[in-house]
Chains A and B, each alone.
Chain A
Amino acid sequence: MDYATLLQVLDATLRLATPLMLACIAGLYSERAGIFDIGLEGKMLAAAMCAGAVAALTGSAWLGLLAGVGGSLIFALIHGVTSITFRGNQLISGVALNFLAAGLTVLMAQSLFGQGGRTPPLNGEARFQPITLPFAETLQSVPVIGPFYEEVISGHSVLVYAAFAVVGLTWFVLYRTRFGLRLRAVGENPAAVDTAGISVKGLRYGAVLITGVLCGLAGAYMATALQAGFGKDMTAGRGYIALAALIFAKWRPVAAMWTCLLFGFFQALANRPDVVEAVVQFKVPVPFLTALPYILTVLALAGFVGRAIPPRAGGEPYVKER
């Protein structure tokens, strides 16, 4: 594989890793606060539909983004109400919301646009356009680094850079702020947090809503940046890959970023089987590349890649008085 092809694959990696990264960090907030969320997929899908629809109607990608976050927040709120207020089973709630999102998005897109459950193709201002970073042109002549900067680092939509910023910010919030400490505590030992006079419900609602906002960004990116519009089931299991990445990264933000980049790399390779074949000298089946994130996650869960221990209070509703 020559350098130009490598750059192409890495460029695709960055684009494909972005929704995974946003959704993965989204899940991190919720799960660190002790609320399991297998509804990342549904929230992304809802956001993608809202973003695609509003961007198509208003012609503004930013308004689309806002609508996407709004749509995702509604689903996050339902998850919060069922799992925090009514102490329902968080896994079942997630499954239900994924179904609801899969159906409702098609229903709404169909009733709004009548184009077989998709939103009209977006172009121009209705889509997030690639940004050329400063000096991308001038540095192009510098060997090795120049093309890397120009091809891989530069030329993505603003949401790609936002995703990396979210990772840094999350690390800071989680490990360097009072809110982060409390968030981690409420996922490990909510009773202790309660004893300290801090609202367990308040913290958990906060975490679930942050999850909603970030899934909203992930979904909006899918519909208004990665692709031009919403299509039925367009997230195609990315919410579950993000969940897998979260476990593989053992619920830590920076590790989550690297894992999502790795999983994004696999997705990029699955689109380029010719490149894979040229490198390893034999034909690697595409389904194997598609399944690789899941296989790796199972191995991680099995403890072959270090032990993945979830937050202790994860999945258990908190009952204040016994």
Chain B
Amino acid sequence: MERLPRWADVALVPLVSLTLAFTIAALIILAIGQDPWEAITVMVQGTVMDAYGWGYTLYYATSFMFTGLAVCVAFHAAMFNIGGEGQALLGGLGVALVCLFIPWPHWSLALLAATLSAAAFGAIWAAIPAYLQAKRGSHIVITTIMFNYIAASLLQYLLVNTLKPVGQSDPASANFPDATHLPALNDIPLVNLFFTKPVPANITLFIALGMAVAVWVLLWHTRLGYQIRAFGKSEPAARYAGINPTRIIMIVMILSGALAGMMAVNNVMGEAERLLGNSASGAGFIGIAVALMGRNHPLGVVLAALLFGFLFQGGAELGLWTKIPIEMRIVVQGLVILFTGALDVMVRMLLGRIFAAFRARAEGAA
């Protein structure tokens, strides 16, 4: 196959994939008798045209940054962590326990403790499949899928039987105490000049951005990161170079689970302010799309998370203001994963042919 120039690899391939995905999405909207132009107008207006829309877009984007980074870190070691959903649910449990049972004097301390707790719970939930993969050879994809369902059952049990306050009917924990409420973007000085009305996006956004930088430093500027990437490129070569596979798999999955778990700080502590049954609401899976779209680079993940935040919030707007059901956003997610992930080779073949044709013509002219 024709090798693509670097700029095409980094920018053109995702752009073409995205265009294909959106074209098909538009055709689907036409097929159900709606107007794609109206859809995109509604989406843009409800997401990026005012501070309120941005508040939601950034809120979703924060969650997707965590889960996207989680998938991204694991991908670099050739591990496909499809269990972000379960790890985020467990992270939520970690947040809830810290917020409910420890009296915090100030939100900053609570934030620190909740972040660590969320990370620890997510990490533990990823460590078991990692151990089984490293020591027993159980396929990580299957075990993490199973752990998603086990996490959902575990949470359902805990919410109904232990965390639900007496006399409450819906399966949810008690509301977190006021001292643990995180400042939203409209509470933060300077930022509140733009965000004047209450928005769900909160201080966790900055933790997510910090994590993106941390992941970048880890992967490309530390010895461990080099080992992770070497292991991901070729396990036999890494083994020959003295890299311990068990160690890499365990470390990578623990980091991945911790990142996915931290997502709970954004939605459980920052927004819902209590633990709900389906708190992760699919963000774990969107992380896969985000990592693929972002080409497994932290900067790409941040940008892709913004795109998916836009899609997620825009999809909700569609459900509100048009006859297009909110499920359209799931369709777009699926299309983006299909074209950027599974049909990657097709797009490359296509572009490779075009580049080859141009080169042949240039050589012919010379």
A→B interface (CB under 8 Å)? 38, 78, 82-83, 86-93, 95-104, 106-108, 110-111, 117, 232, 237, 240, 243-244, 247, 285, 287-288, 290-291, 294-295, 297-298, 301-303, 308, 310
Query: Can you show 9 pairs from A to B with CB atoms below 8 A apart?
Result: A86-B342, A88-B346, A95-B337, A96-B335, A96-B338, A99-B334, A100-B330, A117-B325, A303-B136
Question: Is the pair B132, A291 in contact by a Cβ cutoff of 8 Å?
Answer: no
| Per-residue interface assignment for chain B, residues 305 to 330, with 1 indicating a CB less than 8 Å from any chain A CB and 0 otherwise | 00000000000000000001101111
Tell me whether B352 is interfacial, beta carbon within 8 Å: no
Question: Is the pair B153, A290 in contact by a Cβ cutoff of 8 Å?
Answer: yes
Question: Is the pair B153, A288 in contact by a Cβ cutoff of 8 Å?
Answer: yes
- Contact pick for B143, options A108, A237, A301, CB 8 Å: A301
B282 CB → nearest A CB, Å: 9
Question: Which B residues lie within 8 Å of A301 (CB)?
Answer: 132, 136, 138-139, 142-143, 146
How many of B's residues come within 8 Å of A, CB to CB?
A: 46
A95 CB → nearest B CB, Å: 6
Given contacts A88-B343, A107-B32, 18 further A-B contacts (CB under 8 A): A86-B349, A87-B345, A89-B342, A90-B342, A92-B80, A92-B342, A95-B288, A95-B341, A96-B338, A97-B334, A99-B285, A99-B333, A108-B32, A240-B145, A240-B146, A294-B153, A301-B136, A301-B146
Main secondary structure of the interface of B (DSSP, over half): helix
Tell me whether B213 is interfacial, beta carbon within 8 Å: no
Question: Is the pair B342, A82 in contact by a Cβ cutoff of 8 Å?
Answer: yes
Q: How far is the CA of A138 from the CA of B285 in the complex (A)?
A: 54
A30 CB → nearest B CB, Å: 14
Question: Which B residues lie within 8 Å of A101 (CB)?
Answer: 334
| Chain B residue nearest to A232 in the complex (CB) | B327
Question: Is the pair A291, B153 in contact by a Cβ cutoff of 8 Å?
Answer: yes
**How many Cβ-Cβ contacts under 8 Å join chain A to chain B?**
145
Main secondary structure of the interface of A (DSSP, over half): helix
When A82-B342, A301-B139 are in contact, do A99 and B330 touch as well, CB less than 8 Å?
A: yes
Question: Which B residues lie within 8 Å of A290 (CB)?
Answer: 149, 153
Question: Is the pair A88, B344 in contact by a Cβ cutoff of 8 Å?
Answer: yes
When A98-B334, A285-B161, A294-B150 are in contact, do A91 and B141 touch as well, CB less than 8 Å?
A: yes
> Which residues of B in the span 50-94 have a Cβ within 8 Å of any Cβ on A?
80, 82
Question: Which B residues lie within 8 Å of A95 (CB)?
Answer: 82, 285, 288, 337, 341
Question: Is the pair A243, B341 in contact by a Cβ cutoff of 8 Å?
Answer: no
Question: Which B residues lie within 8 Å of A232 (CB)?
Answer: 327
Question: Is the pair A106, B33 in contact by a Cβ cutoff of 8 Å?
Answer: no
Question: Is the pair B343, A82 in contact by a Cβ cutoff of 8 Å?
Answer: yes
Q: How far is the CA of A93 from the CA of B337 in the complex (A)?
A: 8
User: Which residue, B28, B153, B292, B346, has most C-beta atoms of chain A within 10 A?
Assistant: B153
Question: Is the pair A287, B157 in contact by a Cβ cutoff of 8 Å?
Answer: yes
